[in-house]
Structure 1
Amino acid sequence: MTDTRAPGRRRFFSRLLGTDNATAPGRAPWRRVPEVGAGDGDVLWSGWTGDGELFVVGDEGMVMRFVGQNGADGRQWQKMNVPTRLPLHGIWGPTTDNLFAVGWMGCILHFDGVQWQLLRGGVIDTEGGRFAACEENTPLFAIDGNDQGQAWAVGDDGMILHYDGCRWQREQSPTQVNLRAVTCGPDNTVYVAGGEGTVLHRDSHGQWSKLDCPLGSGFHALLLLDDDTLLLGGGRYFVDKGGFRGELVLYQNGRFQPLSFDEPMPRLRALKAYKGGVLIVGDQGHLYYYRDFRLDKLESNCRHDLMNIIVLSTGEALVVGDFGTIMTASEDFTQALAPPPVEADASPWETMAVPTGAQIWGFTEAAGGTCYACGEAGTVLRLQGNEWELLPAPSELAVHCVWDTGAGLFAAGQLGRIFRFDGEQWALHYDLNLDLTILAMWGSSPESVYAVGDEGLILHFDGLSWKRMISGTQSALYGLWALDDEHMLAAGDFGLVLRYNGKDWREFNVGTENFLYDIWGDSLSNIYAVGLSGTLAHFNGQRWQMMATRLREDLLSISGSDAAGAFAVGTRGCVLRLEGDQWLTEPSGSDAGLRAVCATRSGAVYAVGDRGTVLRRPGVSCTEH
């Protein structure tokens, strides 16, 4: 199958000389990539690849993007417009339209898929017109992130910055030594390395500690080989060897062990997993392949300092460095960068016709089996057999949630207004008289209905009137789940979950700072919460535990039933299905953002979202009324 999107990518490096054994990482020669467009005075510090895209960052605010096909200037590398001339040392992001670059004077840039924006750093003294001597201008040298969408950037004076999925904040560092490398491990653990043999560890609770390293190495690189083994690279001055030497150090079982090799090495700059071993780059064009305590020097055909490694999707790699250097050992790295697309798996979901193109926010199944959906501009839909009918609009305001009490249908959303439908027309049932949005509802009977929303809003209807409850928070509450009136949970901003015991609401610590958008369970000992950047947490009756999903998408809703099982949905048509104790991705057949999911008692599952999307995973359709 050919890649029709960018045929130039398949041919771009076809004229590079090959090798009689290119699959052997110790034998394949490395050669400079032609037609890059970076000048000889440019230092390229790092790069990122994903989604078939490639970005390289360097001095003078340089960001280069490989576009594959010749542009108007005849080049296949595009120099991007960046709002700074400061050197950029590192780049990371979960997706092509959500990238961060860090560099000199503490600058942090963000790319949203369209343009780069300066978020932080580069503060100018208004009086002198020079960079201000402030903490925000502390230079940053490395960045890395995890599958949950969190990231850490490190730099001079022990600076550690944390991105929680929404904003950057400084974390308490146990050192003031200059830091040069960072790598993320499982469960939000992080390792950082720097000068004077400094190695730091962040545990899953967010606490930083300094590991006891007896070596004086200036570490520039580190690689997590497994849960408790680190490989560190750098260099230091050795008196007995009469000069500066590069050094590889292994940290295992709480002990640092320098690795000894016959050939002296220069300062080592980067380490990356590569073809079953480790690719290592350093000063003066030195390239090494390390595996099973053996170090092989590679043919680099270069004498310039090499700064970093970009591993491509198929395991091939690029190396970037001084004098605008970009090198590869691949005969055609573009095939590795953008492999031919594979045929998509068949989806068990089908698209339903609906009489609206409005965004749909909510979905509910009534006790009698009737299904309702709601959304923008007063949209309320009712499923009759296999056909959706549009009910009269309660108002022009967006409806985020509906709830059928059995004695009337409630609809709530913008401006804190709740409407009631008697089967023929809507009437305003409650007006909060505040610009707060109600986001979720649940009720146990016509005499007990709850609603939650912006700024910690919690309302309760006792059959006579709505009254506001004390929540103890100003954070938004997005999802609401309950077994009964004495066992209820609400999920919200920065990992917040509130628990209701029939008397008052109290915080229920989940152990994440990511936003949580929904919560569901089938018992008090089996509860799930979903949220930002694939966040998925499970409560087993005793404690919460984060579950690895490896998703970039936000999970926005979760639901389950005995007949259908459990499902979670999110942005970009993302669907997860619970099988045993594992959440598996399932093709939805749609790229629309899915805002709500409902697993019905009959076994059918419905997912709704952007552009009036309604998907059904057939079981037995909702009861016709």
Structure 2
Amino acid sequence: MNARLLFVLALALATGACSCSEPPATRPDDGGEGGSGGAGGGGGNLAPLCGELNEVEGRACSPTSCWIFPEPAPMEVRAGGFDSEGRLWIGGLGSAPLRLDEHGWSTPLEGLPSVGAVLGLGFREGEVWAVYGGRLLRFAGESWEEVDRGPFNFSPTALWVTPRAVWLAGHEVRRNDGTGWESLLVAGFGPFDALWGEGEVVFAAGADGAVFRWQDGSWENLPTGVRRTLRSIWGNSSNDVWFGGDGGTLLRWVEDTFHVYDLRSGASIVSIAGSGPDDVLALGYDASVRKPVLFHFDGRLWRPLPLPDGVEPRALWTSPEGVWMAGRGGGMAVWTGECFRVHPGEPRRVLAIEDDRWAVGERGLVLRLGEDGAEVVDAGVKVDLRAVAVFGNQVWIAGDGATLLRGGDQKFEPVYVPGNRNLLALDRSPHGLWIGADDGSIFLADGRSVVQTPSASVWPIVSIASVGDEAWASTQGGEVLRWDGSQWRYERSAYGRPLLFGTGPADLWLLGRGAGSLLEHYDGESWRIVPQNTSTTIHAIASNGNEVWVAHTPNVLHHFDGHGWTPRYLGWRARALAHDGQDLWVLAERHLIRWRSSRVEEVFASPSTLTALFADGGGVWVGTFDGSIGRLEAGGLVFDEPLVDGPIRAFDGAGGKLWAISADGYLLRRDESAWRAEQVPTQAELRALRAYGGGVLIGTSDGLLQHLDGDWYGRWSPVEEIEHLWVDDEGRAVVTGSDGSVHLFHVEEGLPSSTLRESFIVHALHATPDGRIWFGGEPGEDGGHLYRFDGEGVERIDLGVLASVGGAAPWSSGEALVTVGDSLRIVAPDGTTREVGRVPWSLDSISRRRGGRPALAAGSDGGILRLQTTEPAP
């Protein structure tokens, strides 16, 4: 009995899936079942092995970085192949596309756009093509260039390159033979998920079992008789083609006929490749167990083929030596037709790096790091490990299920922590080792015992930073806590999920990550946001004559002192701002906030939703959604009984008079003791209010009204549907319309008017005593969101503070190293930024290193990258 038959019998006995007696041969002309089969893919020890895949060993490097774990890179491969020079290319998630030549692995970044996933690769003489982040790219020479892909209203999902044309598939199929893109529509069919061809004959497959063949300049529909989506194609020739799809669908097109094969598996067949008609592999993904499964066709039968350990493939492709496969964590293998040559990968993600010496991650991953790379250390646990710190002469590791380990080299021992809480954060200090848990608990270990300290939070502790004798912690709920020597106290709120790091008590940083990232710096006295000059949405504007405050997304208050801007995190979304000559007042949904000396001084709660604000030397007033009006007294907000049913929309006052309008059409006026309501003679919606000439002007959805000495007058306005209104004592006015326009005109004189801005959705309008007019709102197509008119021209001001920061760490005193997309930057507290290199993928975290610059970082999809920045040493 030969070795191959022994293998088949062993597989049948081990899986219990194949019949012990060999089933009848399955011929192309009768379809057939392909033998009994299970899900396949399990039992990695049964995979036939025949050596290591040594030629793919090594690290993938770019000019400023090298992946050191896993090797060559932590890529989840979605496509691979060989170019016309015999160089291997792979692409997917986790790294920029990789190339292997006689010099080793590299990541060519020249011309490559920012981080994106490779969904397809194509090759022809002297060129490599890629579908990358929805773009179509071509690599020629040593650089990438983006290629126009036509007016697609979707991202392409498949790519095929022939000697004379480039093909893309998505909701339709497009072809470019060098003269431009041609849309190859097939009414009633699509989207398409797979392309394959021989010469200029191309097959496309997709939803509802659709298969089309392009031949001699036209499409031919090839009915399959199946209704499931087809996701993969490979052919031995254009007359012998395999198609795979959802639910284990597998078809063979041969002799102008489709034959259906039953794999007895529900896995979606995502890739097919072979070395000939008698050696074909089909790769499936079984969503029920979240694992790949592999099947082999020997010319007669399809059978499950166990995968080798360390290889979780997502893509197959052919070469003269066999079928290649690659997937998660850098694992690759070649099927020779008889056995696998293997380069095992590591799919477990790295979650934390400490001092460039140790790293931990998913499912018990512990790594000892050095100049030669990374060594996996067995710590004896299988839970996710989330933090690591060097304390004393030992390495401490924290993870799920109250896991706390200490040790080093090859041995770790458990340390008892009460309860079953997940431990998320560690940092060493002069007082001991701080340990943060997912229930808000913070412990202190001194090497002999672990003691729980009083904490002010119930949110998971996500980071701890000990700087000198001080200690800070942050929570998943956006809280910042501070150790006062005896207990943890709530210090402030922060944006998103904050990460703390720093070099000392006067150099502490906070990176808040949510829908974007917010970077802040603490100088020992106050927190200040690092400006980014990106787009944002303006909510409110106020001034005291010399200074201006602007509230904008995400809960930020920007202060202009006449010379420069300083942003600070407010913690509430401001609905309105007002200044009473002494303090700035901020109206949030259910809170009134007093802001003084660049910080929150007092907070007053409201039982009702707040909608309007007014403040001057005579007091602070608020309006509510239920139509009541409140005044700030010594004990807090005091509300009158509602006079109207609709929300209070706006206040204004002058000369000792105070007015308000409601959404249900009332003008309210405050006399010496109470508010009086008067119905406004219009069916239009009241939207804006300004005191003027002893009376008031009201902007409505149907124009401008004036109330003076008990009478009502209509006034001319450049727009009918008014959203915001401002007017000075001389009658110079500004209105914003629902059409997005901003107009300057004179109330008494009417025409002419001038347009300050068109197509801009305004949320806030304000004028300062020097005559300057400020207006802000939703960012326009150019990102503009705040403008200032000085009487002659309109100036744009950019106040955005959010950026796509992935990882951050101290660089030197007063500087932080951050990653924005695939860019490495050094940032100062005032926003001064300098580029120091580019990395082949976005980074999730940077090594926390004491007394030096960090050299390692963790990729957002896993792996460890060694940084080689262009910044010279000091």
TM-score normalised by length of structure 1: 0.40
Larger CA Rg, structure 1 vs 2: 2
TM-score normalised by length of structure 2: 0.29
